[in-house]
Amino acid sequence: MKKVFAVLLSAGMLAAVACAPQGNQQSEEQALQDSLAAAAQADSIAAAEQAAAEEVADSVNADSL
């Protein structure tokens, strides 16, 4: 009985280790996608801030004329 339990335990451990990289790879891909989405959002925020700053500068220049 102990040998059967040891064999089943070993097989279970081997199966758990064999399946681990697939889950890890998916989480790495998800992290990459999240990172790209955050960078795109930061870029669009920076573009909006720049456009707002240019609009303020244009209105200040128009007011001084």
29 by Cβ neighbours in 10 Å (0-12 / 13-18 / 19+) ranks as exposed
Amino acid at 23: G
CA trace torsion 14, 19, 23, 26 (10° rounding): 140
- Cβ neighbours of residue 27 closer than 8 Å, sequence gap 6 or more: none
Domain span at residue 54 reads: 1-65
Task: Average the pLDDT over 46-51 and give the result.
Answer: 88
CA angle at residue 15 from 9 to 20, to 5 degrees?
130
Indicate the pTM of the whole model: 0.46
Which pLDDT tens digit goes with each residue over 17-36?
776 656 566 778 888 899 99
Number of domains in the chain: 1
Query: What does the mean pLDDT of the chain come to?
Result: 81
